Amino acid sequence: MSDSSTLPPARLRPEAELARDALSTPVLSRAARLARWAGPATRVDAGGGLVDEQLPDAAAELGLSGEDAAADASEAWRVAVDTGLVEVVDEEQGTVRAGDELSLLTGGSPQDVLSVWLGALETVLGDASVPDLGGLVDAIAGGEGSGELDLDALDWNPEAEAEFLDGVLGNLYLLTVGEDKAGDAPVPLPALAASVIVPDGMAEPSNDVLEQVSDAMMRLDDQFRMLEPVGLVEYQPVDEALMADADEEPAAPVDDTDVARYGLVRLTPLGLYGLRARLLEAGFEAPAVGDLADKGADALLDGTAAYPPAAAHAETEHWLERRRPLEAARE
């Protein structure tokens, strides 16, 4: 990710529009539905997750079927607990009730709704940084029956994996807020993976680097599939035919149609809002068009000096809309 001072301003949609988008995402809508479904008979385990016996009923409430229904229902419940839509009343008895945050989805402000959605986003991002459950089981089995998770056998570093995903999302954010409407076009997955793998100044990536890019693509394919239902991205997955032979590296794409088979990702307006919120939380200066509308002319001129031309023009228009022409000219 580039230095915070170089971040171009984001053009955000109105919060009311973003809140409607958040409420319609599968992850948040399912979590809210389960929060309303929960009652005195609902039981959870020590970690706050639904007990196995109740997963079929939860899946049926969500209209889910198939082999992933229980897992999807479990994820929706976990989001509900993490965001405060459900509150565990008695850990020993495993009883729950609707949380205070649930009323915010219907009676709160758009900012309240977006705050709940940001909590759901953090849960999903955390899940996306965890490897496949099958790999976890194999890693535990590799511990010679100790029952302890062998991270060396799994070859998984939680901090490094989270940093990798943050770096990818940071680059996607930069591409989205860049000049000349670059953010309107989906980004090929190979290019996004290469942006965090290929060292700066390397004209011709080595075979080792290309192999790392290929591995990163496969990881990102799984992660973006998980991040699409929370509304962060629009994602066209990697063509499964390209992954049919796990022992063979995918061939390099040759044209635009072929590139699309390797995955395309685009940050949604809601995703742009969410990533900017995370950047601000992390201490970055991530401006948005309109931030200077209530500032003086000196702040406007100083602030837009480093903006790309289109963003500076949009910011100035916002500033002028709040002032009478003569007053604006005097300033």
Domain ranges for the chain: 4-11+157-273, 15-136, 297-330
pLDDT at 136: 52
Q: Identify the residue whose tokens are 């109740």.
A: 54
**Alpha carbons 166 and 268: distance in angstroms, whole number:** 16
Task: Assign 238 a pLDDT band (cuts: 50, 70, 90).
Answer: confident
Q: Per mean pLDDT, which range of 185-194, 227-236, 297-306 is the poorest?
A: 297-306
Which residues, other chains included, contact 9 with Cβ-Cβ below 8 Å and sequence gap of 6+? 177, 287, 288, 289, 291, 307, 311, 315
Helices (H), 207-268: 207-227, 256-260
**Alpha carbons 46 and 217: distance in angstroms, whole number:** 36
56 in helix, strand or coil?
A: helix
**Alpha carbons 20 and 32: distance in angstroms, whole number:** 14
For residue 241, the Cα-to-chain-centroid distance in whole angstroms is: 26
Q: Is the pLDDT of residue 131 over 60?
A: yes
pLDDT at 220: 93
Percent above pLDDT 70 for the chain:
83
Task: Assign 22 a pLDDT band (cuts: 50, 70, 90).
Answer: very high
pLDDT at 156: 62
For residue 117, the surrounding DSSP H or E stretch is: helix 110-128
Q: How many residues belong to the chain? A: 331
- Asked if residue 86 lies in contact with residue 127, where contact means CB atoms within 8 angstroms, the answer is no
pLDDT at 223: 94
pLDDT per residue as tens digits for the range 213-231: 888 898 999 999 999 999 9
Tokens of 315: 């910011």
Cα maximum dimension of the chain: 79
Q: How many CB atoms lie within 10 A of CB 174?
A: 18
pLDDT per residue as tens digits for the range 181-200: 555 789 999 999 998 888 77
pLDDT per residue as tens digits for the range 132-148: 655 455 544 554 445 55
Q: Identify the residue whose tokens are 């309240």.
A: 112
pLDDT per residue as tens digits for the range 245-285: 545 555 555 555 567 788 999 999 999 999 999 999 999 88
- The burial class, CB within 10 Å (0-12 / 13-18 / 19+), for 315 is buried
- Asked if residue 223 lies in contact with residue 132, where contact means CB atoms within 8 angstroms, the answer is no
pLDDT per residue as tens digits for the range 79-105: 999 999 999 988 788 889 999 999 999
- Asked if residue 38 lies in contact with residue 86, where contact means CB atoms within 8 angstroms, the answer is yes
**Alpha carbons 236 and 152: distance in angstroms, whole number:** 32
- The burial class, CB within 10 Å (0-12 / 13-18 / 19+), for 84 is middle
